[in-house]
Amino acid sequence: MRIRAVGNDGTERSGAHKAHNHPSGVAEPSRADEAITTRLRDALALVDIRVVDHVIVGDGVCVSLAERGLC
């Protein structure tokens, strides 16, 4: 996971993006994916870093957990 500055409005912000593939080809997030996203979001919030997205890549499909309200 890489943490980088995001935003161009003159304020310093940090955000984290997480992405991985599912070798099965099914991009649907598992319970473990949802749990690690929640734990990561809560832990990084303690140091003012926002989880911007967690993307899961499957067979020609990507699923954004941010779009599902988990980030």
Count of structural domains, the chain: 1
Q: What does 1-62 look like in DSSP terms, one character per residue?
A: -EEEE--SSSS--EEEEEEEE-TTS--SPPHHHHHHHHHHHHHHHTTT-EEEEEEEE-SS-E
* Residue 70 domain-assigned (yes or no): no
Instruction: Give me the CATH number covering residue 13.
Output: 3.40.140.10
- Tens digits of residue pLDDT in 36-66: 999 999 998 888 888 999 999 999 999 999 9
pLDDT for residue 31 is more than 60: yes
pTM: 0.76
Q: What is the dihedral of CA 51, 63, 55, 34, to 10 degrees?
A: 60
* Residue 71 domain-assigned (yes or no): no
